[in-house]
Chains A and B, each alone.
Chain A
């Protein structure tokens, strides 16, 4: 199932947030959205997830979601959004219960996603007992449990320290390699974008427009830190972003 955004524009009141955005999200690819703060990345993700409607334009779903997908468009939140009163298992079963999946069938799915995110030993832990990185892995496990066609990730690693972020990026690459998933990945961090993205969409400052789309052909597994090819892409992205970021920063003063 592909996602296609067709000239999406959006206003909050009289503020123009997004202008004429068209992006294709092909099946099995990770599309990274980067752009200065406040340019409307989260808003765009909410449109794709159906949590909000754009003022103009449309978000299309091309083709049917794969057989057995319980929640085709699934979020991974920056602040994890785990229910603190439910254990790791409970947080995952939460999203299965509403689809009538209980008992042995639910158990099988839970065991599977916990194994894939290396959390099997923490099944009964409460969120307060977990580190930030583990919490985000639980959130990823929860997302995997509903067999999403497209994962919508809004700065999923921003709340974590640099080392944990590296480890989780490796985990994401491993997950993707085992079973390619489609994802829209919003981030501020260009290193994350060149590590995980097959396609990086650079947005301009508000009102957000597509400034440039950069394709990265190196397979995910072969991307290493210090790869000159990737460094070059990252530099290019940074040059694109720098002026926007600076301008955006100065604009806030005039608001």
Chain B
């Protein structure tokens, strides 16, 4: 260090090796990826490089969608689907959050419920559809039940994990100030578990959309799922894809909505 002349000629900047691992918003990238995929499919199907039996032309799918919209059928399908999604997810997620919190707070509930949840988590809920039809009838009841059941388990698991992760020193603090049990749960445990609950919500809602199609397999005249299933059984690929695109868009909307809620509720995070 002291002998500067000895090191002359080896001057260079320190190699940079930091950065990364910090996602930051890049809004346009998502759109570009979508656009490239669609353009590729359009170009492939037009030039015959992709046969029309493999993939419908995106422009045809768009036309089908336009027809659907103009005939007013779109909303006839969308409204019942959305209400099933909403009711089913509402029931499943609220029950799931409540049970998850109880598991997080009470050792007996944990000992009793965790194995039960582990047992029902891997059951393919679609397999139980006939059972739900027997229990809740062929009407809306069985559809709500299927979606509720499917969203319940992931919500429970996410919620009790989130409660377990609440900083214990904050709870001790609450106790040391003489806060009541209920205050501690409401003002410390719940907000502290909110990040985990909301990331569980993302998964649960995606599962709800998946189950929507299954729920509409039986006895549904209208609904996006019914529409897709009908198109599928006729090998009407344009309509099938139009339906699938609606579900995808629904998924994106849900994800954006959860993102907004997160930003609103979790602004305190660094």
Cβ contacts under 8 Å, A74 to chain B: 176-177
Contact of A77 among B173, B187, B191 (CB under 8 A): B173
Nearest-CB distance from B54 to chain A (Å)?
51
Query: Is residue A97 contacting chain B, with contact meaning CB distance below 8 A?
Result: yes
Cβ contacts under 8 Å, A79 to chain B: 169
Interface residue stretch chosen among A80-88, A188-196, A228-236:
A80-88
| In the complex, per-residue mask of B241-270: 1 if CB is within 8 Å of any chain A CB, else 0 | 000000000000000000000000010111
A71-B178, A85-B191, A128-B270 given; A77·B169 CB < 8 A: yes
Cβ contacts under 8 Å, A127 to chain B: 268
For A128, the closest partner residue in chain B by CB is B270
Query: Is residue B175 contacting chain A, with contact meaning CB distance below 8 A?
Result: yes
Q: How far is the CA of A49 from the CA of B174 in the complex (A)?
A: 13
Q: How far is the CA of A97 from the CA of B169 in the complex (A)?
A: 20
Query: Is residue A51 contacting chain B, with contact meaning CB distance below 8 A?
Result: yes
Interface residues on B, range: 20 to 34
- Give residues 42-87 of B contacting A (CB, 8 Å): none
For A78, the closest partner residue in chain B by CB is B169
Nearest-CB distance from A91 to chain B (Å)?
10
For B182, the closest partner residue in chain A by CB is A98
Query: Is residue A95 contacting chain B, with contact meaning CB distance below 8 A?
Result: yes
Q: How far is the CA of A70 from the CA of B177 in the complex (A)?
A: 9
Q: How far is the CA of A98 from the CA of B179 in the complex (A)?
A: 6
Contact of B176 among A75, A83, A84, A85 (CB under 8 A): A75
Interface size on A, residues (CB 8 A): 25
> Contact: B177 with A84, CB < 8 Å?
no
- Give residues 194-220 of B contacting A (CB, 8 Å): 194
Which secondary structure characterizes the binding site on chain A? loop
Cβ contacts under 8 Å, B192 to chain A: 85
> Contact: A95 with B269, CB < 8 Å?
no
A97-B183, A98-B178, A98-B183 given; A75·B270 CB < 8 A: no
Query: Is residue B188 contacting chain A, with contact meaning CB distance below 8 A?
Result: yes
A94-B187, A128-B268 given; A81·B178 CB < 8 A: no
| In the complex, per-residue mask of B143-183: 1 if CB is within 8 Å of any chain A CB, else 0 | 00000000000000000000000000110110111111001
Contact of A95 among B169, B172, B179, B268 (CB under 8 A): B179
| In the complex, per-residue mask of A131-170: 1 if CB is within 8 Å of any chain B CB, else 0 | 0000000000010001000001000000000000000000
> Contact: B183 with A51, CB < 8 Å?
no
Q: How far is the CA of A77 from the CA of B177 in the complex (A)?
A: 12
Query: Is residue A126 contacting chain B, with contact meaning CB distance below 8 A?
Result: yes
Among B183, B187, B194, residue most surrounded by chain A Cβ atoms (within 10 Å): B187
> Contact: B269 with A81, CB < 8 Å?
no
Contact of A85 among B173, B177, B179, B268 (CB under 8 A): B268
A85-B191, A98-B178, A98-B179 given; A126·B173 CB < 8 A: no
Q: How far is the CA of A142 from the CA of B268 in the complex (A)?
A: 19
Among B177, B183, B187, B266, residue most surrounded by chain A Cβ atoms (within 10 Å): B177
Nearest-CB distance from B176 to chain A (Å)?
4
Q: How far is the CA of A81 from the CA of B173 in the complex (A)?
A: 6
Cβ contacts under 8 Å, A86 to chain B: 268
Nearest-CB distance from A168 to chain B (Å)?
19
Contact of B170 among A49, A83, A98, A142 (CB under 8 A): A83
Cβ contacts under 8 Å, A75 to chain B: 173, 176-177
> Contact: A51 with B169, CB < 8 Å?
no
Interchain Cβ contacts under 8 Å between A and B, 28 examples: A49-B176, A51-B172, A51-B175, A51-B176, A70-B178, A71-B177, A73-B176, A75-B173, A77-B169, A77-B173, A81-B170, A83-B187, A83-B188, A84-B268, A84-B269, A85-B192, A85-B266, A86-B268, A94-B177, A94-B179, A94-B187, A97-B183, A97-B187, A98-B178, A98-B179, A126-B268, A127-B268, A152-B176
> Top 5 A-B pairs ranked by shortest CB distance?
A81-B173, A85-B268, A75-B176, A95-B177, A128-B270
For the complex with contacts A71-B177, A75-B176, 8 further pairs of A-B residues with Cβ separation under 8 Å are A49-B176, A51-B172, A71-B178, A73-B176, A85-B191, A94-B187, A98-B179, A126-B268
A interface list, Cβ under 8 A from B: 49, 51, 70-71, 73-75, 77, 79, 81, 83-86, 94-95, 97-99, 126-128, 142, 146, 152
